[in-house]
Structure 1
Amino acid sequence: MTVERRGVAVGLGAVATLLLAAWVSAAGPVGVFARKDFSGKESPTPGDDFGSVKAPPPKGDGIKTADVRHADPWIVDAVELLMKLVLAIVVVIVLVAIGRALLDRWRSREAVDDQVSPTDIVPDVLLDAAVEGERQLSRGTPANAVIAAWVALEDACRSAGVRDDDSRTAAELVTAVLRSHRVDRAPLDTLAALYREARFSRHPIGEEQRTAAREALVRVQADLRQTLARLEHERSVSR
């Protein structure tokens, strides 16, 4: 069962449990456990004589209530307290279950964000794409330059054969691939935001956005170079 279905099941169970607890609390222990005979009428009160004249039943909507004239008050209070404790425990259990379901869903989304495509892209290919993106930033208008810088990263993923389903956008896929090579998320988020701004916004894109994109790409290149150095060190040690 997926996390989303588990969350729905927990939610429905929580609603059903709370409705049942609310009904029991509203009915009260006496109303719930009142004795009735098979005809739906209350059992006769002990001590009533069959020959005595009984007062006519009060007119109403037909709802019969239990005769509690001989119920001990401390028993009623004890049962009510017990039911309140049970209701409180049920509420706590439901809240804990919902919290765990939400936490599992959040963790699963984090795992999807950082999931790597089955096709492995070597970091030097991504580094070349980041360098090419920086070169693109020096050409054309700021808007076109920012778009070209990000497209260079997307093209590197496509040329390596990375494919994904419809659960993630192209920007999310590029971010996941770069994250798999220990690239910090902050410059990737900056580049993706600048790309969306340059492509879809109607306000002008200026040199400020070009500069921000260049700084982000420099940080991406630095992280990829560190990854390459680490891999080279591991290969040299294993020899």
Structure 2
Amino acid sequence: MTRGRAGAVATLVAAAGLLVLTWAAVVGPGSLVSGTPRVFDREPPAATASPTSTAPPGAVSTREQLIEDTETVVDLRWLGELLGWVMVVAVLVGAGLLARHLWRHRWHPPEPPESADFEVLPDLHRVAAALAQSSAAQLEAVAEGSPRDGIQRCWLRVEESVAEAGVRREPWETTAELTVRVLRLLDLDPRAIGGLADLYREARFSRHELGEPERTAARSALHRLHSDLAELEGPRR
């Protein structure tokens, strides 16, 4: 049974019980259902004057005649009282159900809105400045050692610049994913970002030999990123 139906039933029971209780209070519990004594069919015969007189043969004694002329009366007033108490209990139960229904469906203040998670954008000006300051170190790193080591070092320099700008890494992000996300927020050349990130992953996780063409490609991607950063910093200055 749903809450709405339970509340309606409780209301009807309480209303019916209140009506019956009012009626019982007016007429009295004993008058609801009771037996009605039945009167004698005829008057009992008068007693004889002389107690010593004997009745003629075949005559019925006065006591026996009274027993025959008197019908048994059944007193059902207790049943009316019982019914009255039953009605009182029904009213109390209905009132309790109604009170319970009203209590469960009482008014509650609206819940405060849940706080919405939103992404806090990094300070892009600070990020661009940090990348521009480390541009020379990035180019030096890509030129040192083997092509594999140089590509990894220059990318790590870029990651360090992003971290120094105070950008928060999301729990689901790696440092490389964070760096790519921030570079894209700066509206830099997406081909240069993707190319440099791919070269870093290839240099770190692959086992085949990397040569000077890969080093040159990484250096070209860095020059393109530095050029875009200079264009971003120029109007602000």
Q: TM-score, normalised by structure 2?
A: 0.47
Q: TM-score, normalised by structure 1?
A: 0.46
Q: Which has the larger radius of gyration?
A: 2
